[in-house]
Amino acid sequence: MQREQLLEEARILIDLVERKTTSLADSVMTLEAAAYADPGLFQRESSELFRNHAQFVGPSCMLPEPGDFYAFADTGIPVLVVRRQDRSLAAFVNICSHRGAPLGEGCGHAKKSRMFSCPYHGWSYDLDGKLIGVPFGNEGFGELDRSTLGLRPLAVQEHDGFIFVMPNPELGFDAAQLLAGIGPTMSGFGMERYHLLGIKRVETAINWKLNMDTFHEFYHFEALHPETIATMSHNNVCHYRQYGRNHSLSSPRIGIEALRGQDEQDWNIRDNVSFVNYIFPNTVIFVVGDHFQTWRVYPIDARRSVVYHSMFVPELPQTESARAELEAFFQMINDVAVREDYTLVERMQLAVNSGLSRRVHIGRNEPGVQNMHRQIRDVLAPAEVLRLQR
């Protein structure tokens, strides 16, 4: 986001703080609680939102060098994304053509920056997915046509510094259309020069949407996080902007009011405004202080989900003590979400699992939560969703 836009965002937030209000949706939204545990809906979501919908992978700086790869299997189809020698990206179904082992796991680096070697029997593939080596190949597999045994390609795109991949090998997509203009709101922060500090994986006994709901509103800071987030950020104040199916929420840090007394050209915006950017359907990108975090949430089943929490920093620590300090900070942020949010929300999931017929209400002051549910409804549309999401 450019300086003038940041100034504008800060002015809006100062005004909201002074008027003790926040961005408001047109009306209250009401959902059937069963939408957070319905097996039929889970099936539809898995296929329409995860398997057949392009997925946010991370910022481009997640795979900075040729040979860097990231593999994940949480959409139901194992996916492998790699940066090739010419710095373009390729993506494949992460299934070896021999007997189906995955060629990589999580973040890693291709062998000699130019090939994958299967951990099971050592078949190897270049970064274009071509099968280039079969141990004992002539005798063992001579009659097979190797040209047909490459890795199955997937559509992958890099746009505005973000990587997207389509898990379903039959489908394509348009990343610019998916981002719908939210990309530039995050450019100008120099994200392309950031470094991945690490990724934490947390499994929760929480439906994936209930999990995501926790990220889209700042209404709970004071009640749930009195000792942590509420000491840093204003409760229940956000400025909401829509970008296609995505949105951005900016939030004022405590003390932003003091900017009023300063010349605008001296305003330090990043110390006073933080952002939660939602990328449909399952990702939020936090921009707080000098770092970025991504949280990607995937359903495991109707009542459980897994979250990948990634931290990106402007410079990798150069000493052991600097690394330990940064790791501790990363862990502290993760702990707040796990200890304070997820502990409570897992109990909310139990209430859903009780099966009692009940509705939940999403206030006008929770426009981000409303948007996510509205967009999911829009993609899934038909009757069963409307029954569960009134």
Pick the closer one to Fe ion by CB: 315 or 335. 335
The binder of 120, among ligand FES, Fe ion, none, by C-beta within 5 to 8 A per type, is ligand FES
Binding mask 135-164 for Fe ion (x = CB under 5 A): ------------------------------
Pick from 98, 130, 200, 270: which binds ligand FES (CB under 6 A)? 98
* Residue 101 near ligand FES by CB under 6 A: yes
Helix (H, G, I), strand (E, B) or coil at 337: helix
> Cα separation of 115 and 132, whole Å?
9
* Residue 347 near ligand FES by CB under 6 A: no
What residues does 277 pair with on adjacent strands? 248, 285
Q: Give which of 182, 364, 350 is closest to 279, Cα–Cα.
A: 182
Pick from 28, 30, 40, 99: which binds ligand FES (CB under 6 A)? 99
Piece of 118-126, 149-157, 190-198, 332-340 that binds ligand FES (CB under 6 A): 118-126
Piece of 80-88, 93-101, 155-163, 213-221 that binds ligand FES (CB under 6 A): 93-101
Min dist. Cβ of residue 60 to Fe ion (A): 28
> Cα separation of 31 and 385, whole Å?
10
Q: Which sign, positive or negative, has the C-alpha torsion 33, 36, 37, 43?
A: positive
Min dist. Cβ of residue 38 to ligand FES (A): 37
Pick the closer one to ligand FES by CB: 116 or 280. 116
* Residue 258 near ligand FES by CB under 6 A: no
> Cα separation of 161 and 173, whole Å?
17
The residue count for binding ligand FES (CB under 6 A) is 10
Query: Cα 329 vs. chain centroid, distance in angstroms?
Result: 20
Pick the closer one to ligand FES by CB: 136 or 357. 136
The binder of 341, among ligand FES, Fe ion, none, by C-beta within 5 to 8 A per type, is Fe ion
Cβ pair 360, 1 in contact under 8 A:
no
The binder of 96, among Fe ion, ligand FES, none, by C-beta within 5 to 8 A per type, is ligand FES
Piece of 94-102, 262-270, 324-332, 381-389 that binds ligand FES (CB under 6 A): 94-102
Q: Is the peptide bond before 153 cis (omega within 30 degrees of 0)?
A: no
For tokens 């009011």, name the residue: 257
Piece of 129-137, 273-281, 289-297, 340-348 that binds Fe ion (CB under 5 A): 340-348
> Cα separation of 300 and 142, whole Å?
41
Tokens of 190: 């120099």
Piece of 99-107, 230-238, 275-283, 375-383 that binds ligand FES (CB under 6 A): 99-107
> Cα separation of 159 and 46, whole Å?
25
For tokens 């569960």, name the residue: 388
> Cα separation of 37 and 355, whole Å?
9
Pick from 120, 174, 176, 350: which binds ligand FES (CB under 6 A)? 120
Tokens of 47: 């296929």
Distances, alpha carbon 227 to alpha carbons 213, 286, 288, 291, 343, in Å: 21, 20, 18, 21, 16
Min dist. Cβ of residue 232 to Fe ion (A): 12
* Residue 341 near Fe ion by CB under 5 A: yes
Cβ pair 371, 249 in contact under 8 A:
no
> Cα separation of 206 and 339, whole Å?
14
* Residue 213 near Fe ion by CB under 5 A: no
* Residue 366 near Fe ion by CB under 5 A: no
Radius of gyration of the chain (CA): 22
> Cα separation of 160 and 180, whole Å?
11
Min dist. Cβ of residue 80 to ligand FES (A): 13
> Cα separation of 35 and 289, whole Å?
35
Pick the closer one to ligand FES by CB: 121 or 253. 121
Pick the closer one to ligand FES by CB: 101 or 171. 101
The residue count for binding Fe ion (CB under 5 A) is 1
Residues that bind Fe ion (CB under 5 A): 341
Residues that bind ligand FES (CB under 6 A): 96, 98-101, 118, 120-123
